């Protein structure tokens, strides 16, 4: 008998809870249509030349993102202007861009900044035997201003033009990076512009060269007033080499700011992850930056993204602080699934108990209709007592096999009591002498 009851119990539960479960599942399926796609596990970052600081920093970002199972492909390029072109054409997802190198590439309206990362000084190196105190002294000199497509070249041309130096009166060479440094060290050129971090191997090599001099921008304030994207920074005396006292005096430099720039369609979770990587790399500061100064929402090349704005106000997303990246993004994407839970589950919790009570009591109360019908028949003179007794015995048998929770046993025994009363009535009608 118990084996027969179990399938019935399962069927009863299915009848009661099945529609509710189905309704919730349909709600989740509908809500899932609005779940954001998962972030890609492979993104591309355009940096700069292999011997530049951008490329070195890109490799550090790559290691940090790899810890979260995101592969960052670090690509070399000619420089900032080239990077902007790659980004607007969709060939990369993010890039490093030098301040002051924007405005001429179609599609730049779709670019957003995640913040500035560090100061990029403008290093103007020249052969020590030359007398150079201002940029005007470079007129007629062989000067390397950076390769085509680089931010260095764009900025150098702008500053030189203010000092009336142009290709018509001075040999301006499209050479950059290691090749420009080697040419200066070998005496093939007289001076060279570099826009780079002091961590750049090229800059460190030139700072350490005895016959190469670094120019100090004595009129730095004038340049920062006319070019708001520039800042004035100071290279302290002896910071390069205390034993040799390099430099031998405080040196004033102009500095742009390196920006981390992305396409506006990059997944917001990846923006947060890139910012966390940048924070880990740059927050310690350097020769020109205070500890914790960068990354920062100032000195921007493009408008700040909303994800970056939240990051600077509140820090990393709460879930990413305590969960692996994949788990945090999964939970964040599926939070929209709370809508059907709130919209369906809470009302169902209120509705299901009354439905459950009705279903349990209906197993008992439905027999009252038949018991009452038999009782009414007994008042008729032509009542078939044998048929009534048989029907009542069948009802009694069926009722004895009803399965209900103990909390409803009272109603069940009331029914059985009423059946017993009708049976007694039948006995009196069948044997009037009793």
* Residue 336 pLDDT greater than 70, yes or no: no
Give residue 434's pLDDT band: very low, low, confident or very high (50, 70, 90).
Answer: low
Q: Say how far apart CA 214 and CA 198 lie, in whole Å.
A: 13
Note whether residue 251 is domain-resident. Answer: yes
* Residue 238 pLDDT greater than 50, yes or no: yes
Q: Tell me: do 138 and 178 sit in the same domain.
A: yes
Q: Tell me: do 312 and 351 sit in the same domain.
A: no
Q: Which of 134, 158, 137 is nearest to 146 (CA)?
A: 158
Residue 67 phi/psi, 5-degree rounding, is -65, -25
First CA to last CA distance, the chain:
38
Q: Tell me: do 86 and 127 sit in the same domain.
A: yes
Note whether residue 392 is domain-resident. Answer: yes
Q: Tell me: do 372 and 243 sit in the same domain.
A: no
Note whether residue 257 is domain-resident. Answer: yes
**pLDDT of the residue at 55:** 92
User: Per-residue pLDDT averaged across 53-61, rounded?
Assistant: 92
Q: Tell me: do 13 and 51 sit in the same domain.
A: no
User: Per-residue pLDDT averaged across 138-153, rounded?
Assistant: 90
Q: Tell me: do 21 and 48 sit in the same domain.
A: no
Note whether residue 374 is domain-resident. Answer: yes
> Could you tell me how far CA 371 lies from the centroid of its own chain?
68
Q: Tell me: do 49 and 12 sit in the same domain.
A: no
User: Per-residue pLDDT averaged across 201-230, rounded?
Assistant: 90
pTM recorded for the entire structure: 0.65
Check residues 113 and 109 and name the one with the higher pLDDT: 113
Check residues 92 and 324 and name the one with the higher pLDDT: 92
Of 114-123, 146-155, 261-270, 314-323, the least confident: 314-323
pLDDT digits (tens, 9 = 90+) for 264-286: 999 888 999 999 999 999 999 88
Buried b or exposed e, range 80-105, using 16+ CB within 10 angstroms: bbbbbbbbbeeebbbbbbbbbbbeeb
Q: Do residues 69 and 90 lie in contact, with contact meaning Cβ atoms separated by under 8 Å?
A: no
* Residue 2 pLDDT greater than 60, yes or no: no
356's tokens: 């459950």
**pLDDT of the residue at 1:** 40
Q: Tell me: do 200 and 63 sit in the same domain.
A: yes
Range(s) of the domain holding residue 398? 2-26+339-430
CB count in 10 Å sphere of residue 115: 27
Give residue 5's pLDDT band: very low, low, confident or very high (50, 70, 90).
Answer: very low
- Indicate the average pLDDT of the chain: 84
pLDDT digits (tens, 9 = 90+) for 297-321: 988 889 999 999 999 998 887 777 7
- What's the CATH number where 56 sits? 3.40.190.10
pLDDT digits (tens, 9 = 90+) for 79-98: 888 899 999 999 999 999 98
* Residue 397 pLDDT greater than 70, yes or no: yes
**pLDDT of the residue at 4:** 46
**pLDDT of the residue at 190:** 96
**pLDDT of the residue at 3:** 46
pLDDT digits (tens, 9 = 90+) for 154-205: 899 999 999 999 999 999 999 888 899 999 999 999 999 998 888 788 888 9
> Could you tell me how far CA 161 lies from the centroid of its own chain?
43
Say what percent of the chain tops pLDDT 70.
85
Note whether residue 334 is domain-resident. Answer: no
- Virtual torsion, Cα 211, 214, 219, 221, nearest 10 deg: -170
Give residue 343's pLDDT band: very low, low, confident or very high (50, 70, 90).
Answer: low
Q: Tell me: do 312 and 205 sit in the same domain.
A: yes
* Residue 33 pLDDT greater than 70, yes or no: no
Give residue 344's pLDDT band: very low, low, confident or very high (50, 70, 90).
Answer: low
Instruction: Please tell me the total count of domains within the chain.
Output: 2
Q: Tell me: do 201 and 245 sit in the same domain.
A: yes
Q: Tell me: do 230 and 354 sit in the same domain.
A: no
Question: Where is mean pLDDT largest: 22-36, 70-84, 361-375?
Answer: 70-84
**pLDDT of the residue at 360:** 76
Note whether residue 65 is domain-resident. Answer: yes
Note whether residue 80 is domain-resident. Answer: yes
Q: Tell me: do 272 and 234 sit in the same domain.
A: yes
Note whether residue 331 is domain-resident. Answer: no
**pLDDT of the residue at 330:** 62
């Amino acid at each position: 008998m118990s084996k027969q009851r179990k399938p019935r119990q399962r069927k009863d539960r299915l009848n009661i809870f099945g529609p509710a479960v189905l309704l919730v599942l349909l709600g989740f399926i509908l809500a899932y249509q609005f779940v954001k796609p998962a972030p890609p596990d492979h993104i591309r970052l355009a940096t700069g030349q292999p011997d530049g600081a951008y490329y070195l920093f890109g490799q550090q970002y790559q290691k940090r993102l790899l810890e979260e199972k995101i592969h960052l492909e670090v690509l070399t390029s000619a420089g900032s202007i080239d990077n902007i072109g790659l980004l607007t054409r969709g060939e990369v997802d993010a890039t490093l861009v030098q301040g002051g190198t924007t405005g001429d590439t179609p599609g730049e309206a779709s670019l957003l900044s995640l913040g500035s990362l560090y100061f990029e000084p403008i290093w103007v190196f020249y052969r020590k035997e030359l007398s150079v105190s201002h940029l005007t002294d470079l007129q007629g000199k062989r000067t390397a201003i950076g390769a085509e497509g680089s931010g260095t070249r764009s900025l150098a041309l702008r500053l030189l033009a203010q000092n009336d130096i142009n290709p018509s009166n001075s040999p301006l060479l499209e050479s950059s990076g290691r090749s420009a440094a080697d040419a200066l060290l070998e005496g093939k050129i007289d001076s060279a512009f570099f826009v780079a971090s002091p961590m750049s191997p090229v800059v460190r090599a030139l700072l350490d060269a005895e016959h190469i001099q670094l120019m100090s921008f004595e009129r730095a304030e004038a340049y920062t007033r006319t070019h708001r994207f520039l800042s004035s920074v100071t290279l302290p005396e002896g910071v390069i080499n205390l034993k040799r006292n390099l430099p031998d005096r405080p040196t004033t430099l102009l500095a742009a700011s390196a920006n981390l720039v992305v396409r506006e369609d990059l997944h917001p979770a990846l923006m947060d992850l890139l910012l966390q990587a940048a924070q880990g790399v740059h927050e310690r500061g350097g020769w020109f930056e205070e500890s914790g100064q960068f990354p920062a929402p100032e000195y921007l090349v493009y408008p700040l993204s909303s994800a970056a704005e939240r990051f600077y106000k509140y820090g990393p997303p709460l879930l990413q602080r305590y969960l692996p990246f994949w788990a945090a993004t999964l939970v964040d994407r599926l939070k929209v699934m709370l809508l059907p839970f709130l919209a369906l589950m809470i009302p169902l919790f209120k509705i299901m108990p009354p439905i459950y009570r009705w279903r349990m009591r209906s197993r008992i109360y439905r027999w009252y209709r038949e018991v009452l019908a038999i009782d009414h028949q007994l008042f008729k003179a032509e009542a078939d007592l044998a048929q009534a007794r048989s029907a009542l015995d069948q009802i009694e048998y069926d009722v004895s096999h009803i399965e209900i929770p103990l909390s409803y046993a009272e109603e069940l025994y009331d029914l059985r009591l009423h059946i017993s009363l009708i049976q007694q009535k039948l006995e009196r009608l069948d044997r009037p002498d009793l």
